[in-house]
Structure 1
Amino acid sequence: MSGSNSSAPAGAPPEPLSLTVHSMPRPELDAQARRTRSGRLKMLLVLLACASPVVASYFTYFVVRPEGRSNYAALIDPPHELPPLALRTLEGQQVPAASFKGQWLLVVTGSGDCDADCEKLLYLQRQLREMTGRERERIDKLWLVTDDQMPPAALQKAVLDAGAAQILRADPAQVAQWLQPAPGESLSSHLYVVDPMGQWMMRAPVRPDPSRLKRDLERLLRASASWDREGR
């Protein structure tokens, strides 16, 4: 009869039943996954708690601007974390990058063959720190030399004798992964501000006005007074 080809022939043995076996639940794996998620959540909450004073202080002074103020220097959002820079003294001794955490940093970078613009930035670096008065103990100065040129002895002496300063050699590619110039400018054209957590968070304009830059720096110092103290 037409349409009956799909039926089993009369007298044929029944087809065997097939069973699909699914994996059994493993409570120990579920518990481990829950512990992993819980651990990650706790770590995230700790990080947020540590960072919240910094975020709040920057937000208050540079976003809310309760008095209608505007920052002169460029605020870096989000800030750039301090990478594991391979730093060396001019004599070749290694210096851990993490050792700079705990102080505000005013950073100048460029060739050891320091030209007139470089010298002006180094002078500005020194001037800014002194202009902050008693708060200057919370600030260090860092000159990152990104080539093999030896800075002039007289310039080294002028930088180091002013106190709270270091001159270190750094790989230019590593520095460029941390600090960035304004569009169309070179890395050595700016002074950079790094917070005590090692985050680059502000870039001064090219040939900046010291008094306006000082106001930005003073706001940062006031905003961070609740969580930052002088000395490492």
Structure 2
Amino acid sequence: MTAMTLPDSSARRRGRVQLLLILGMVLGPMLLATAMYKLQFWVPDGRSYHGDLIATGQTPADLGVQDDKASDQWQLLVTAPETCTSDCQQLVYLARQINIGLGREASRAEHALAFAKPLPAQFTGLLDKDYPRLQRLGLTPNQHTGAQPQLWIVDPHGNLVLRYDAKANGKSILKDLQLLLKLSNIG
């Protein structure tokens, strides 16, 4: 029988260094990521969206929107807590144009108007004629919506994602929605 030989000390040392390197490669990135998160360093300041991000889990119902049907599509929601003035009408037009601008992805999104006060008769006639797919919803005004009309992007689960004011750029909103649709498998 041959006797088993023990490795010399240099081979042991090399084995220990290799083990430490392997552990460092596995645990190092996790420790670095944890430290970056906890200590807030090397966090990028830039962002790729143009609206105000709503990451609180709010739904349109939290805004006072009275909608009893669930949708499985992305939604461009215009809220008008006061009378639907020119800013509100511009956002309704913009929501429809963004929906059209989605091209082949347009079937994944819909547009809606939630209003608290009755719409002007002339605008109601225009909506009936030119906006047949526009959903009209009731709105109970509260502190979340403010007094100005706003455009919201709502995901298919009913969560508010982004908010835009009346002065928002339509191309920026379209880019944001296209990015959301690209990254999302829902809706």
Asked whether 1:188 is paired with 2:145, we answer: no
Amino acid at match of 1:77: A
**Structure 1 equivalent of residue 16 of structure 2:** none
Contact in 2 for aligned 1:139/1:164 (Cα 8 Å): no
SS in 2 for 1:78: coil
In 2: Cα distance, 1:141 partner to 1:167 partner = 9
State which of 52, 56, 61 in structure 2 corresponds to 1:74. 52
Structure 2 unaligned regions, length at least 5: 1-45
Name the residue aligned to 2:126.
158
**Aligned residue in 2 for 1:10:** none
| Residue-by-residue CA offset, 1:89-110 (whole Å, 9 max, x unaligned) | xxxxxx51xx133111111111
Cα RMSD (Å): 2.5
- Asked whether 1:109 is paired with 2:103, we answer no
Are 2:154 and 2:160, in contact at CA under 8 Å, matched by a contact in 1?
yes
SS in 2 for 1:167: strand
- What TM-score, normalized to structure 1? 0.53
Give the Cα–Cα distance (whole angstroms) in 2 for the partners of residues 172 and 114 of structure 1. 13
Unpaired segments of 5 or more residues in structure 1?
1-67, 88-94
Would you say 1:143 and 2:113 are equivalent positions? yes
- Give the residue type in structure 1 aligned to 2:186: W
For residues 111 and 147 of structure 2, the distance between their equivalents in structure 1, rounded to whole angstroms, comes to 17
Q: State how many pairs are aligned.
A: 140
1:221 to 171, 181, 184: 181
CA contact (8 A) 1:109 1:187 kept: no
Residue of structure 2 aligned with 1:202, choices 159, 162, 172: 162
Normalised TM-score (structure 2): 0.64
CA offsets 1:72-125 (integer angstroms, 9 cap, x no match): 1111113313438673xxxxxxx51xx133111111111573211111111111
Contact 2:79 / 2:115 at 8 angstroms: preserved in 1? Answer: yes
The structure 2 residue matched to 1:167, chosen from 136, 144, 151, is 136
| Matched letter for residue 227 of structure 1 | I
Work out the CA distance in 1 between the residues paired with 2:186 and 2:79: 28
Counterpart among 134, 142, 162 of residue 104 in structure 2 = 134
Which of 168, 172, 176 is the aligned partner of 1:212?
172
1:152/1:216 CA distance change after superposition, 3 Å = same
